Every structure is written in structure tokens, then in C-alpha cells.
A and B are shown apart, each in its own frame.
Chain A
Amino acid sequence: MDHSGATEVTIALSGVTKHFGDYVAVERADFSIARGEFFSMLGPSGCGKTTTLRMIAGFETPTSGQILLEGVDVSNTPPYKRDVNTVFQNYALFPHMSIFDNVAFGLRTAKVPVEQVRSRVMEMLDVVRLPDMANRRPNQLSGGQQQRIALARALVNHPAALLLDEPLGALDLKLRQVMQLELKRIQRDVGITFVFVTHDQEEALTMSDRIAVMTQGQVDQIGTPTEIYHTPATPFVAGFIGTANLLPVTVVSQSGDDVTVETRLGGQCTVSAAGTSYAPGSEVTLMVRPERLVPAGAPLHGAGSGASIRAAVTSMVFQGPVVRCQVRTAAGADLVAHLGPEDDPAAFPVGADMEMTWSRDGAYLVPQAIAADEAGVTSMEDDQTAA
């Protein structure tokens, strides 16, 4: 255990691909997870998160590619020989054993001496704050309690990494928020690498050191929550993390960090190139987050000269901290702006024309094109309410 240095790699995937028959569940996953990191895999249902996690745990064998655990290739090692533990989505507690026996299961399998088992189990039950439940059966616990026991059962083994597959999925919102903090605390306390699967972007943003956003078997982007939020690599990531107004634009010119683009309505604006060089005439996507879109005349969020667009108000919804203002441009794209307390919603009745503006730094250029009918606001929340 002489590993040291913050950037030491616990898990590394290189070119990992998984086929189920003709179906490609995971395609060329390439990333590594550092020791002690809270790493999340985020993506819509069916994108291959669980499959990736199961390959790390050893329940599935990659069709091709390699998985390294602490530098050792474990691609073909059975799960019981891998130093990782899993917290299952349905918890998978052993119904015929007491809580104590459940938590002690891994230690006993590893033939840890009896006295040590006792102290380590009780210690872990303390960590998950359920010290009095040792003699109960799993079916005598609430969902949240079972969840913690599942966590304790995995953590007590001090694995190199803990794999969690939507561990909070079955809990109600309130409990989920409590458990999110709890998980974070425990992870800090034990200092173990967490690989956390979720399809809840808010959960991923609040808990993770880094997030891998997946879609259709592919990893679109890996980065810190800030990077993913502010500089999405693809229109999908932009829309999947938070709410994004996306406009298809054409590059007019680039000089230094300034890129000038033209919208479909003919308006032009300048955006940061963020280190990328764009050929004039290439089709890309302009992203403006709702909180960066403000009525003309209001103070701009972010530096740089602004741009503006005219649109008709289609709805105005009071949401507590913000007012959600939806407008439609002449090109038919729906945009959403979050009006703050300083804006007066009454000034913009539904149907009225209004001019929306944003600053140079309030916008971001996603280096991929989108189709015209994909223009406008996208967010997972909309998808979810629609579903």
C-alpha cells in the first residue's frame, strides 16, 4: 500500500467495447479514474452505463479492449478475484442473513479473523449510522436503511474502488438528497475511489469530481462538472446537463480567440473560440444557458459585447428563485430565459415581442452542427416531464 500521489490511477479503460450479439452496448470506452476520485457515469437510459460498470466489476467480459485495476489487466478476471465492490441498484442484500452477517459477508469470505470481523462490521455500521440494526433482517429495514447497509457491506472490505449503480434510484427525492450528502461524506471519510452511475444530471453535478457523459454506448465527454456544464463537447452534452438554448450557426471568421458566427436569421455575434480553430463556413452550434439570456437593456452576465435576438413571448412561469420565460424566434426556435428578481415579468406579456441579449462570454460554441429542427431549448428535465 505504498501508493502515493494524487494522480495515481485506480481504474483504466482502454478501448473497451461490449457487444450483445449485433448490438453494441459500449463502444471504445477510454478513460481512467484516479485514486480517491468520485467519478460519475451519466447518461440516458440504455446508454451503457450499467454495462460499463459490470465490466469493471467483472460480471461482463469486454468484447475487446482492456480494463486495468491498479495497473493490472483484469479484463478476464472473475468478479470474486477483483478488488472492487458493488452497491447494486436493488441493493441485493441477502434476505436470509442478519444485517451483521450481510456486512460481515465479504470479510468472512476473505477469512478475516473473527474479532476483526466484529469490530470492522460495527465500525462500518457506525459509519453508515445504523449501529443498532445489526440483528435485524433486511426486510425489516426501510429503503434508505437498506441502501446504507448495501454501502456498508461493500465498503467494509476496503476495496480499491466502489462501484455504485444508481444506488439512490429507488429513494424518494428528499431521502435521495440526504443520501447524496451522506455518500459524499462517507467517500471523503474512507477515501475510496467511487464509480457512480446515475442518469440524474443534478446528482452527478453535485457529487462528482469528474463526470463521463455517455450516449448510445459512447463516452461523449469527460470532465469536471464545471467543464461539462460550461464547455460541453457536443450538443447532446449541452442539453443533457442542465438546460441549453442551442442555435445552429455558421462560422464567418476567426481572429485569435474571437469567432464571428451568423445565425439562421442573419444576425452575427462574436464568441470565444476556447482554443479551437474554426474554418469559415463551417456549421457549428451556439449555446446560451437560460441564466445568460436576458431582456435587452438588463445587465449582461459575463464580459464582452453582446448579441441580441428578437422573439415573441410564449409563456412566463414563476418558479420561485427565477421566472422561466419562453420565447419563440422568427426561425421557429423556442428559447428559454431565466429572469432574475431584478426583471419585471409584467413588462413582457405573452404574445409581446421582446429582444433577448447575451454577452460574448455568456455564449459557448459547441464544435458540432445540429439540424434546424433541433434548434432551441433542450434539457433532460423537459424530456423527463414529457415522458
Chain B
Amino acid sequence: MAAATTDDTGLRKGRFAPYGLLSPGILWLLLFFLVPVVMLVKASLSTKPSRFAEPEFAWDFSNYTAALSEYSPEFIRSFLYAGIATVLAILIGYPLAYWIATCGGRWKNFLIGLVVVPFFTSYLIRTIAWTSILQDDGVVTGLYQLLPWVGSDGRILATPMAVVGGLTYNFISFMILPIYVSLEKIDFRLTEAAADLGCAPWRAFRKVVLPLSLPGIFAGSLLVFIPAAGDYLNARYLGSPQTSMIGTVVQNKFLVQFDYPQAAALSLVLMVIITVMVLVYSRFLGTEGLAV
């Protein structure tokens, strides 16, 4: 790095080259991230003189106070459900990815293909399909009712369990794929090395494989948590009035009530909270040290 300043003439010509290479990326970011965010911020600080009038920019922070005071249950629910769905996705997805990566053999690509197959169907249809699978008169619910603490009027649909399950199901592929990729990269001779140094299989996994696959878990968690926290379809089709999430509110504010300022404020609050959570999470997992 120190050398960068020494050879001035050599560098002069290439000084802007890196920026030149970056410019499509920067343009993309500007166009599809910065511009919408600025518009969102502007909208969130606007007021509407009447329902069908255009919002007017007015440094109106009341949208934010309202967002936080009125909709904290929905926020909490969103993060809770998304958090549980993320944990479930790890608990289900990791063993699956591990199994494919270690035992898949020549079926690996086929098995990973199976993980992706649900994506060929629209998200909405996949979710609605679950309402038939989990229907009150269905086999699944019938079996569920056999559980001693459930009873014959127990149901799965229209419960938080169904919403969390739907979120987990809909986004679990986003967990499996990055974990699979990170496991694929691991040299499994390292587990032999750990065994050689006295580790029983479980400890070898915990000390070697798990830490090396953390980047995959991290990426997967973001890919599951972020869309899950903003989701409304699962709450809409699998939930009840008591399970509505912040995405439900935003959708309704935008499309039914035409309250763009409030919807924008809610979206931004969601975005900020998620960003903070991601930063904390990345500290917690110490991702920068994991780059192998």
C-alpha cells in the first residue's frame, strides 16, 4: 500500500481505471438503490392534504412517530417470526446441505436441483398450496390433533405456527444454497486432521466444519431473514388477524389506504432496523475474519 504513492507517473494513467471499472456498479446502485431510498425518505417526510391528493414534502416526522407507536406489535411480530423462521431454516437447512455436500456423491447436482425446484412455481401459488396441505379437514392437521396437548379442535392454519412455517418453507432454499456452497469449499481432510488431534466427530464438526461454514450461515440468514421480515403473503394466507406483520401494514397503506407517507416511513424504519440487526449479527459472527 505504501508503494502506491511512490511511482506517480506509472499510476497517473491508470488512476481512474478502477473507478471506470466500478462505474456500472455505481450506476446500478445509484439507480436502483439510492434513488428509490431518497424518494422513500422524501415521501416519508411528506403529508397528504387529502386522501387522493399528491403527497407534499413538509419535513413531517409524525409519520415516524406514528409508525413506531402504532405498529410496534407488527414490527415485533415481523422480527420474531422472521427470526424463528431463520433459526428453523438453519436447523433444517444445515443438516440437509451437509448431507448433500458430504454424502451426495454424483447426485449432488441433482439434489441441489431439487432444492431449487420449488422456485419454478410462483411464490403465491406455493403459499396457497400450503393452505390445502394444512387444511383443517386434512391429513396433516388430523395427525397434529393426535398430539396429546392439541385436541380435536386444534388447527394449524391461521396460527403463528403456520405463518412461521410458511416463511421457513418459502425461504429455506436461500439458506440451503449458501450453506451448501460454503460446505462444498471445505476440505474435509480437515476433519480427519481434527480427529487425528483427538476430536470425536461432533467436536470436530463444532471446531472445524461449523466455523468454516459460518459465512454460508451468515449469508443464508440474511437471505432468509430480510425478505421474511418484510413478507406479508404468508401472514395473509396462513395467518389470522392476530398474526399480521409489518409487510401487511405497508401493503395495506400503499394499496388500500394510499397513505404513501406512512407506508414510506414504515418501510424505512423496517430497513433501518434490519440494517442495524445485520451489523450486530455480522459482528457477532465475526465474518471478516472468516474469509478463507
Closest CB of chain A to B239's CB: distance in Å? 40
Chain B neighbourhood of A92, CB < 8 A:
187, 189-190, 192-193
Closest CB of chain A to B136's CB: distance in Å? 49
- Contact assessment for A109 and B187 in the assembled complex, using a CB-CB cutoff below 8 Å: no
Find B193's partner among A78, A86, A96 (CB 8 Å cutoff): A86
Closest CB of chain A to B290's CB: distance in Å? 6
- Contact assessment for A109 and B197 in the assembled complex, using a CB-CB cutoff below 8 Å: yes
Cα-based distance from A78 to B199 in the complex (angstroms): 10
Q: Is B292 located at the chain interface by the 8 A CB criterion? A: yes
Residue of A nearest to B189 (CB): A92
- Contact assessment for A85 and B197 in the assembled complex, using a CB-CB cutoff below 8 Å: yes
Number of A interface residues at 8 Å Cβ cutoff, please give it.
24
Q: Is B268 located at the chain interface by the 8 A CB criterion? A: no
| Given A59-B192, A79-B192, A88-B193, also A94-B198 (CB < 8 A) | no
Chain A neighbourhood of B195, CB < 8 A:
58-59, 78-80
- Contact assessment for A109 and B198 in the assembled complex, using a CB-CB cutoff below 8 Å: yes
Q: Is B208 located at the chain interface by the 8 A CB criterion? A: yes
Q: Is A195 located at the chain interface by the 8 A CB criterion? A: no
Q: Is B196 located at the chain interface by the 8 A CB criterion? A: yes
- Contact assessment for A94 and B196 in the assembled complex, using a CB-CB cutoff below 8 Å: no
- Contact assessment for A95 and B212 in the assembled complex, using a CB-CB cutoff below 8 Å: yes
Cα-based distance from A153 to B194 in the complex (angstroms): 11
- Contact assessment for A106 and B211 in the assembled complex, using a CB-CB cutoff below 8 Å: no
Q: Which positions 90-113 of chain A face chain B at CB distance < 8 Å?
A: 90, 92-96, 105-106, 109-110
Cα-based distance from A153 to B208 in the complex (angstroms): 15
Q: Is B200 located at the chain interface by the 8 A CB criterion? A: yes
Chain B neighbourhood of A95, CB < 8 A:
190, 212, 292
Cα-based distance from A78 to B203 in the complex (angstroms): 14
Closest CB of chain B to A252's CB: distance in Å? 55
Looking at A95, A96, A139, the one whose CB has the most chain B CB atoms below 10 A away is A96
- Contact assessment for A105 and B194 in the assembled complex, using a CB-CB cutoff below 8 Å: yes
Interface bin, chain B = 20 to 34
Residue of A nearest to B187 (CB): A92
Cα-based distance from A110 to B199 in the complex (angstroms): 9
Cα-based distance from A106 to B187 in the complex (angstroms): 19
Q: Is A285 located at the chain interface by the 8 A CB criterion? A: no
Cα-based distance from A85 to B198 in the complex (angstroms): 9
Q: Is A66 located at the chain interface by the 8 A CB criterion? A: no
Cα-based distance from A86 to B199 in the complex (angstroms): 13
Find B197's partner among A59, A78, A105 (CB 8 Å cutoff): A105
| Given A92-B189, A94-B190, also A79-B290 (CB < 8 A) | no
Chain A neighbourhood of B189, CB < 8 A:
88, 90, 92
- Contact assessment for B192 and A106 in the assembled complex, using a CB-CB cutoff below 8 Å: no
- Contact assessment for A57 and B212 in the assembled complex, using a CB-CB cutoff below 8 Å: no
Closest CB of chain B to A80's CB: distance in Å? 5
Chain A neighbourhood of B199, CB < 8 A:
80, 109
Chain B neighbourhood of A106, CB < 8 A:
197-198
Looking at B190, B193, B200, B208, the one whose CB has the most chain A CB atoms below 10 A away is B193
Contact with B along A312-338 (1 / 0, CB 8 A): 000000000000000000000000000
Show the binding face of B for A, using Cβ within 8 Å. Answer: 187, 189-190, 192-200, 203-204, 207-208, 211-212, 289-290, 292
Q: A78-B195, A154-B197 are in contact. List 20 more A-B contacts (CB 8 A).
A: A57-B196, A79-B196, A80-B196, A80-B197, A80-B200, A85-B196, A85-B197, A88-B189, A88-B193, A92-B187, A92-B193, A94-B194, A94-B208, A95-B292, A96-B289, A105-B207, A106-B198, A109-B203, A157-B197, A157-B198
Closest 3 CB pairs of A and B: A106-B197, A92-B193, A109-B198
Show the binding face of A for B, using Cβ within 8 Å. Answer: 57-59, 78-80, 84-86, 88, 90, 92-96, 105-106, 109-110, 139, 153-154, 157
